[in-house]
């Protein structure tokens, strides 16, 4: 995926060259002898139009670049989240495999679960009395 992202970046930068191309045209209109003797109001009109187009494209490419950078940030955040999720899933699968490797009962007695130390207990092992004491909004 990284090479595709780099290709998009390269394409954006290549398109941005249109702003530089307009600068080349400015120089061409100002220096080429073909345009010598052009009426001043015609030359001004052409130069103003080119300046407007240059500024327009400059603004558009700035907006495009910001959107691209924001999408990259989102992409890399999602990628990290996916990697963390994969690690969690792998860990859970390993735990399930370890628990199901042998067929021995985890507890001899269903009530035994309530007598284990807290660190060894799971969320669903809580007694109804313990659930009544839980405050989720602190």
- Joined together, the tokens standing for residue 7 give 């290709």
Tell me the mean pLDDT per 10 residues along the chain, length 138. 84 90 89 87 91 94 94 90 89 80 57 55 68 68
73 exposure class (CB count in 10 Å sphere: 0-12, 13-18, 19+): exposed
C-alpha 17/C-alpha 19 separation (Å) is 5
State how far the Cα of 68 lies from the Cα of 71, in Å rounded to an integer: 5
| pLDDT of the residue at 112 | 58
Q: Which two tokens stand for residue 30?
A: 């100002």
- Cβ(14)–Cβ(42) under 8 Å? no
pTM, rounded to two decimals: 0.54
> What was the pLDDT predicted at 24?
92
pLDDT at 51: 93
């Amino acid at each position: 995926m990284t090479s595709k992202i780099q290709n998009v970046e390269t394409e954006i930068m290549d398109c941005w060259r249109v702003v530089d191309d307009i600068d080349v045209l400015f120089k061409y209109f100002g220096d080429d002898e073909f345009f010598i003797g052009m009426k001043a109001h015609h030359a001004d009109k052409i130069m103003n139009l080119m300046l407007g187009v240059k500024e327009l494209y400059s603004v558009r490419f700035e907006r495009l670049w910001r959107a691209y950078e924001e999408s990259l940030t989102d992409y890399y955040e999602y990628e990290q989240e996916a990697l963390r999720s994969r690690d969690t899933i792998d860990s859970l699968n390993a735990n399930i495999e370890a628990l199901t490797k042998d067929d021995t009962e985890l507890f001899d007695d269903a009530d035994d679960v309530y007598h284990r130390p807290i660190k060894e207990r799971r969320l669903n092992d809580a007694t109804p009395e313990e659930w009544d004491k839980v405050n989720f909004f602190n």
